[in-house]
Structure 1
Amino acid sequence: MEKAELSGLDVLSSFLETLPEKLEKTPYDYNMYIEWMQLVRAVGDIDSLRISRQHMRARLAIPEDMLLEWVADEEAQPNALYDENVLRNVVDIFEKGLEERVSCSMWQRYIDFAKRVDSNKETLACNAAEAAFGGAEYLFSILRRAVEATGPHYLQSHAIWTQLKDYIEQEISRAGDDLQRSEMADLLQRLFLERLSQPNSGLEETFGMYSEFTTQYNGTDYEQQMVNANKIVSSTRVNCAYRDSLEGSLAKTDDSWDGYLRYIDKLVEDKKAGTNEVCMLYERALGLHCYLPDAWDKYILYMEGSAENIKAALDVASRAIRFCPWSGKLWAHVINFTFVQQGHRQASDVYTRAVSTHAVDYSMLELGLAATAWLAVMRLGHSNNPDTCAAALNAACNESIDKAYTLDLDTADPYLLLECCCASALIDCLNDVEGARRIWLRVCKSRKVCANAWLKFAEFERIHGTASSARSVYRQAAQRRLDAPELVFSAWLQFENSGGCLSTIYAAERTINLQRRLSQRRIERAICESRAEAPEIQKESLRLDEEIHAESTGIAKRRRSGSQYGVHSTGAVMEASASGEMASKLPYNQSKEKTMPSYSAAHYTGPSAYTKDTRTVFVKGIPLQYDIGNIAALFGGPGCVESTTLLTDRQGDFRGQAKVVLSSTDALIAALDKNGSKIGNNFITIHIFKPHHHTPKPSAAEVTVEVRGFSPETGNKQLGSIVRDVGPMIRVRRNQAGDTAFVVMGSHAAASKAADLFNGHVVDGCILSAKLAEDAAGLGRKKQTALANVNYTNFVPRATAASRPAKKMKIARDPQKPLQPVVATSSGQDIKKTNADFRQLYLGQEGKHSA
């Protein structure tokens, strides 16, 4: 037993050594106080236990059961009824506990304690009681206060009111003269009439008691007294029947908060209760749900709207933060009400207390709610004194953003209230557009997948920037993997339709369609992973991804070289890509990595063996202070990493990117699982490294089929799927305009079959036309030379289908100009030709020609 006590003392002493630091840093840590009390109780030190409870009560509201346990510990002290200090401690516990809650059970416990003290008539005990309670009539005072506080309670107030009635009747019987007896009887009659007008579960019993009281003390005027009382009781009975039905509905919900909320809303809607009765319902609900911030918020808003002054709402809000100090919404109420009642300085002190004591800085959302209220107070102060408060408002905005973005982004506010408040304050009060832009840049850089942040940034640029900067923000947002991409797509198209031109609308639609296809492919990959599809299906999924990636790379390449649609580089605010990483004016050979799709490890767990290329990962976002050893340790150490290559800029400085060759399949899977993890302040991106392969020279057996007539929106995947089964297909190429494709087949027979399949095939509402590339004109210098050697006098072009409407040309024969082409047929019919067929021809005089 002695060893156990010694070990308990050692634990307590070690805890007490770190306690002052904990109390200073985290004074609202509920678990810390509980641990402190448990250690002290195990040792048996009642004085230290009392100190721990007093420290907790100074910051937090102690639960009712713990308060009653504290009272029991104090009453268990030797000679408690004779010790003035013990009695004073118990009275202090009850008084402060009842300031924080309206509890019928706690009032009853307080009354029982006062009756127990009052029953001891010894002189020493009476003196101690009068000193502790502050007077000789303490029992009557407690009963009057209890009835006043709990009177609106429909179910439990009757028991407390009956005790007050019994006490007054005893005083009437003990009264020494008729005057005193008459005064007490008049008091009791007033209490009866007030009680009969108040809905309660003991109304009929109270009415019977009043009848007995009137018979005994007002017998001469009994009939008139009962008639008046019956009028009061008649209207109260109606309300009691109404309340009984609501109480039954509440009981069916097991006294849940939703049940109380419906109860209160019904009373307010039907106007069947006064303010005191509605407040009592809130107090009843909070007695069971005191750690629910929404319940306190509803109560505060009700008090703010119905109270005669703001002080009642401030009192409720001050109680609320003692029960729920982690709620930024409740701190915001206290800040606002304090500013209205006491001024700017006291409101700032409240916010400082909330932040410095780590009450709300565990969550960006809760901190943002409190900081938003504080910034509103600062803005009001700036409007009153713009010269002296400008610097303070600017510092407050930056301090709030800095504080919020040191916290976990998973706790961020989806509505961005703090960010909008800071940006609005800088623009409206300080006219600092660049400061607001820096805030939105930081927000979008930190919250990369939040569509709402990008939309608000784009709206900011539309109002305070230029159309080009707003368009750049929309483009960056559309290329990211956002939580709600369709919102960004819709806003971008609306922006372009209202203020853009045809070229910008077309570019926006092209980017949006591509991103939708990429998103669809990601969904399909996820479905394949969940269903554990065969490796062949996974390979097909990867192949389709590569085609989409190749197309997106082509779009980026055309954008950097200058688009044919009139969309030029404008030095945008930021350059972004489909992978979701930030970049700024990178050359193409560096920034093309940004559009590479990231694959999960499930796509690389097939039966085939891994090569060194497939075990190489590309890592971005590495802190600049990392070296090869740190990067190797990130992936498991030398046993999991074969080699590491750091990528540097032109000056030889590390740029936060590296290629890592892993030693095994398991190491590769483990590395890919780290994609998106956070190192320091950076989020790293990891994906399979794809080396750039040069396009192989075509072999002698390869034959190219030229395909025309489709829309530039049609992808290579759609064209390739048409002829996939006719023979070996090597690759699909596109011209710069995107309206002509060259499908390279492995043999002449396969190319002929492919041309037949393409001719007349409908894709996206367009009819395709195809021919072997060796029959096409205008494809290169060799073909042009061969076409120049043709005898144009007898040249009859072959009619072909085209992607654009053909023109009807009528060419007359002129012997004086033998090199001029003449188009003729034996039937004399007009020939339909495309522009390509007449590209190298000299058109002669237009007219009819007969064979």
Structure 2
Amino acid sequence: MEDETLTSKPQLPTSEEDDLDHDAPDQSMADLPHHSPTSPPSGSDSDSDSDSGSGTNSEDDEAQDKLQLQTLENDLSANPSNYEAHVQYINLLRKMGDIEKLRRAREAMSELFPLTPAMWQDWARDESSLIAGTEAFSAIEKLYERGVSDYLSASLWSNYLDFIQEYDPSVRECSPAGISKARDLFERALTATGLHVAEGNKIWEAYREFEQAILKTIDEADIQAKEKQVQCIRSIFHRQLSVPLVNMRSTLLVHKAWEVEQGGMLDNESSDLDGVSSHVASAYQKALDMYNARAHHEEKISRQDIPDLERLQEFMDYLKFEKSSGDPARVQILYERAITDFPVSSDLWLDYTRYLDRTLKVGRTVSNVYSRAIKNCPWVGELWVRYLLSLERNRASEKEIAAVFEKALQCTFSTLEEYLDLFLTRVDGLRRRILFGNEVENVLDYSLIRETFQNASDYLAPLLKNTDAFLRLYAYWARLELRIGKDLVAARGVWESLLKICGSMLEAWQSYIAMEKELGHMKEARALYKRCYSKRFPGTGSETIFAARNSIELEFNLLCLMIPSLPKNRIIQDICHTWLRFEREFGTLEDLDHALQKVSHRLEELQLFRAREESKSAEERENISKKNVREKRKPVSDISDEQSPAKKQKDAGENRKKVHEKDKTLLQNVDEKDNREEIKTQVEELDIKIEERTKDSIPEKARVFTDQCTAFVSNLHLKANDSHLAAAMAKNRQALLGRKLSIARSNPKHGKRDASGRSLQGAQEHGTDQTDIAGGSASKESVEAFKQSSAPPLALQSNPRKPRVDHIQLKGKNTFAVPRNVSTLSRTAKKPETEEQEDEKPKSNDEFRKMFIKG
């Protein structure tokens, strides 16, 4: 506002002061200790008397105010975004009466933040108390215009209308131009607040009073003009009675009384709708029903004795109800009421703008809401992104869009993805306007896209290095260099720049090679292969692929990486985001809007589903934790927990098993509720295939057994007897995971025959010793046969997943059911040999010859 000499200080009229918002501070500039240039200096006797009694206190207060003022100025200089410091600074300047500093402080704050309706009322009221001249009036009028655009406030609109009627000469004199101006302003106020259930009556009543004041100025002899004005007032009554507002019955009674004054035959003492025209009565009854349906919502959102979070939820419930009625104007009014009470609720702004994008889509109304949203919640990247898209839909100029983009980069977002999305949205818009924007402007140059990509890389590289998001940025850049820039050298330069930053990222090389192959440049692709084939690429699985030294291990890792380990909802989410990425990189803005409309609802469902599943998982983890606590409190068993020598033996295939288990960690990354059993089965089937492929190439001693359906019981207590075995066998044929178990007594000699074909089924009764090993039993003959065997186990030559029989027979070298550590124990465990064991010891040729000679 221009600084000027103010020569008078007219006070606001009483009616205006009564209409001021109840939240506004009571102190006005007229009451502050400032002086206009024409005011006489203070020096009266009363001043001297007051100074003599309280001069010390006044000086102390003034010194304290100055010290606080200096502190606030330093705070704002260091951090201009300190909202509370701005508010305290303005309040202190109002108290001190420093007019010029106060104006500058208010302007500085309004540049960064929207001001509340009460703050705009204070500002306009302070300036109105000093009004003088046409220029001052125009400046205050602009203040009101700025104020009513920040938040919805019926009280602020009422103050604005009163100010115009009081200080605008053309309106005050009821000139045709003044009447037209006032009516336009009243209609704007009704558009903004006329549907406000609780406060809309203020504007309707003010409008009627204005028109009734005009009626009194019309000459009684001008019957036609008078009748026209009466009809104008009647129309406002009828419009108001058709809108659900508070005190509707009072408005109806006032209308009937006014009609009587105009010479109507209505009986004001009759029932409410008696004598009222049918169409007015019908509209009134419909509006009354609408109000009654909303009364309980209005009561809930107006409560001040409940927490803000609860009130906000009441607003959301009210909005859901209004949306179901299908009136966008009423929904928008309610959103405006909500954000006035909760201006920094980012979820509320996101919900509001999303609704406008679906219903209005285009128009300055939507862009204006976004402009207010980013001033209230500048830390939300999604609001800036959608603001840019809104400007593009409204055919905004490149200058305006660029200014919003540059302003967004100055904000602090919570995630790096928000910065990336902002850069990509800017590139998307430039691409669309270059390719499809003939009707808008033809002055855009591809250099703007290249510059934006380079800025994005410089901005994000330190934090997004070696990520898929950063790769996506460069892949998009390289494609546009080819499609729009028509420059293959530049596209290759983009990939080379990426390799300098992310040279250890396998996907970067793959994408670069893919571009060359798509273009048919096989020589260049081969050269890239030669550059990267020997590199070790850290990450999930890629290092094992390039470090593999034989085809079997390579195939195994490839198969494991091909497992569809992602849950179905994650796959759907990826498809949705891929579609959006495709449209933003290749389609028009209409194509992008169509895709957003299709996938938004689906993504919301997935988000809700994921939240529900996470809640269930949290409950399960809590239950497991409680169970573990209970288990820890159980008494410790008296069974010895010493390790057997077999457990201390290292597996000859330990290294291969580690690689195998590393790839199986894919299972650990899968949600507990999404296809866990199915994916586990797929991994087991891969195990079988790998075992079949490796049976001929891996030496017997290094062979690792991978069957997943055999269990051995070890560390049995010495007191275990036949009754314990019978209890275990009682579980035979019982179901586990949908299949019946088969549990049988171990009997290795069952069905075995000697060299002559005689059955050895009863060998145990004839004194054949059985050696207990790892909870099972095997004959020493079988053990020795296993030790001497060099052929592949027969289990690897057949299907290891076929149904098992109840009795396992150990015949000759068929040792696939022998425990893993049998051969090791045979070599390491030194037990005293009994006579029976000596009898079972295999005979040499010389010993057999001696036996026959003796015979």
The normalised TM-score by structure 2 is 0.50
Contact 1:199 1:240 in 2 (8 A): yes
The aligned amino acid for 1:328 is G
Task: Work out the CA distance in 2 between the residues paired with 1:46 and 1:109.
Answer: 22
Partner of 2:401: 347
Q: Could you list the per-position Cα deviations for residues 711-752 of structure 1 after superposition, in whole angstroms to 9, with x for gaps in the alignment?
A: 24789xx99x946999xxxxxxxxxxxxxxxxxxxxxxxxxx
| 1:380 aligns to 2:428 (yes or no) | no
1:308 Cα deviation after fit = 8.4
Q: Residues of 2 paired with 1:558 and 1:190: CA distance?
A: 84
Distance between the aligned counterparts of 1:283 and 1:801, measured in 2? 82
Residue 151 of structure 1, aligned match among 184, 191, 194 = 194
Instruction: Determine which of 396, 413, 421 is the counterpart of 2:452.
Output: 396
In 1, Cα distance between the equivalents of 2:497 and 2:288? 62
Matched, 1:477 2:540: yes
> How far apart are 1:143 and its partner, in Å?
4.7
SS in 2 for 1:177: coil
Q: Deviations over 1:192-212 (max 9, x none)?
A: 232233333344333333333
Could you give the per-residue CA deviations for residues 784-831 of structure 1, whole angstroms, max 9, x where no partner exists?
xxxxxxxxxxxxx993442299xxxxxxxxxxxxxxxxxxxxxxxxxx
CA deviation map 1:25-73 (0-9, x unaligned): xxx5535534643664576534312211111112321122333343455
1:611-654 deviation line (CA, Å, top 9, x unaligned): xxxxxxxxxxxxxxxxxxxxxxxxxxxxxxxxxxxxxxxxxxxx
CA separation of 1:504/1:279 partners in 2, compared to 1, >3 Å: closer, same or farther?
Answer: same
Q: Aligned match of 1:711 in 698, 705, 712?
A: 705
* Distance in 1, Cα, partners of 2:237 & 2:208: 9
1:424 pairs with 2:476? yes
Tell me how far 1:98 sits from its aligned partner. 0.4
Shift in Å, 1:260: 3.7
Aligned position for 1:230: 278
Q: Give the counterpart of 2:98 among 40, 45, 48.
A: 45
1:283 corresponds to 2:336: yes
Q: C-alpha separation between the residues in 1 aligned to 2:280 and 2:652?
A: 85
| Cα gap change, 1:324 to 1:174, in 2 (>3 Å) | same
Paired residues of 2:786 and 2:815 also in contact (CA < 8 A): no
Check whether the contact 1:475–1:508 (CA below 8 A) recurs between aligned residues. no
Look up the match of 2:371: 318
Matched, 1:294 2:347: yes
What residue is the counterpart of 2:147 in the other structure?
97
Are 1:240 and 2:288 an aligned pair?
A: yes
Alpha-carbon spacing, 1:48–1:430, altered in 2? closer, same or farther (3 Å):
same
Q: What is the identity, as a one-letter code, of the residue corresponding to 1:244?
A: N
Q: CA deviation at 1:241?
A: 1.3
Residue of structure 2 equivalent to 1:757 = 773
- Structure having the larger proportion of residues in helix: 2
Q: Does 1:185 align with 2:237?
A: no
Structure-1 separation of matches of 2:201 and 2:650: 77
Does the CA contact (< 8 Å) of 1:250 and 1:260 recur in 2? Answer: no
Counterpart AA for 2:405: Y
Question: Matches of 1:210 and 1:440 in 2, distance apart?
Answer: 79
Cα gap change, 1:479 to 1:221, in 2 (>3 Å): same
Q: Is the 8 A contact 1:758 1:768 kept in 2?
A: no
The answer to whether the Cα contact below 8 Å between 1:155 and 1:201 also exists between their aligned partners in 2 is yes
Where does residue 815 of structure 2 map in the other structure? 802
Post-superposition Cα deviations, 1:366-422, rounded to whole Å, max 9, x if no partner, equal: 43343232121122245359998444424423422442455699xx9x9x8786466
8 Å CA contact 2:391–2:401 kept in 1: the answer is yes
> Taking structure 1 as reference, are residues 191 and 417 closer, same or farther at Cα in structure 2, changes over 3 Å only?
farther
Supply the AA of the counterpart residue of 2:452.
A
CA distance in 1, matches of 2:107, 2:384: 23
User: How many Å separate the matches in 2 of 1:151 and 1:375?
Assistant: 42
Sequence identity (%) = 15
Q: Deviations over 1:669-699 (max 9, x none)?
A: xxxxxxxxxxxxxxxxxxxxxxxxxxxxxxx
Matches within 5 A, 1:17-96: 28-31=81-84, 33-34=86-87, 36-37=89-90, 40=93, 45-71=98-124, 73-74=126-127, 80=130, 90-96=140-146
Q: In the TM superposition, what are the counterparts of 1:481-500 in structure 2 within 5 Å?
A: none
Name the structure with the higher strand share: 1
Partners of 2:427 and 2:452 within 8 A in 1: yes
Partner of 1:204: 249
Contact kept in structure 2, 1:761 and 1:768, CA below 8 Å: no
Q: SS at the partner of 2:773?
A: helix
**In 2, Cα distance between the equivalents of 1:315 and 1:401?**
31
Q: Which of 165, 176, 194 is the aligned partner of 2:219?
A: 176
What is aligned with 2:20? none
Q: Is the 8 A contact 1:196 1:236 kept in 2?
A: yes
Alpha-carbon contact 2:114-2:150 (below 8 Å) kept = yes
C-alpha separation in 2, matches of 1:440 and 1:201: 68
Closer/same/farther in 2, CA of residues 778 and 256 from structure 1, 3 Å limit: same
Q: TM-score, normalised by structure 1?
A: 0.50
Distance 2:143 2:317 in 1: 34
Match of 1:194 among 239, 242, 250: 239
- Deviation for aligned residue 1:97: 0.5
- Displacement of 1:93: 3.1
- The equivalent position to 2:356 in structure 1, one of 299, 303, 314, is 303
Q: What residue in structure 1 maps to residue 26 of structure 2?
A: none
Matched residue of 1:430: which SS? helix
What corresponds to 2:203 in structure 1?
160
Question: Does residue 328 of the first structure (1) align with residue 385 of the second (2)?
Answer: no
SS in 2 for 1:198: coil
Q: Pick from 420, 423, 428: which aligns with 1:368?
A: 420
Alignment partner, residue 678 of structure 1 = none
Q: CA deviation at 1:558?
A: 8.1
Residue number in structure 1 paired with 2:850: none
Query: Retained in 2: the 8 A contact 1:369–1:418?
Result: no
Counterpart contact for 1:61–1:323, Cα < 8 Å: yes
Deviation at 1:437, TM superposition (A): 9.4
SS in 2 for 1:214: helix
- When residues 713 and 476 of structure 1 are mapped into structure 2, their CA distance, relative to the original with a 3 A threshold, is farther
Q: What secondary structure sits across from 2:812 in the alignment?
A: coil
Q: Are 1:554 and 2:554 matched, yes or no?
A: no
Pairing of 1:634-673 with structure 2 (within 5 A): none
What is the Cα deviation at residue 82 of structure 1?
6.0
Aligned-residue CA RMSD (Å): 6.3
Secondary structure of the residue aligned to 2:374 is: helix
Equivalents in 1 of 2:283, 2:180: separation in Å?
36
Q: Is the 8 A contact 2:385 2:425 kept in 1?
A: yes
For the residues of structure 1 that align with 2:537 and 2:298, how far apart are their CA atoms? 51
Give distance in 2, aligned partners of 1:56 and 1:8: 20
Contact 2:256 2:266 in 1 (8 A): no
Contact 1:84 1:129 in 2 (8 A): no
Q: Which amino acid aligns with 1:160?
A: I
Unaligned 5+ residue runs, structure 2?
Answer: 1-56, 304-309, 484-490, 518-524, 546-550, 567-620, 642-646, 670-699, 719-768, 792-809, 819-841, 843-855
Q: State the distance in 2 between where 1:155 and 1:384 align.
A: 47
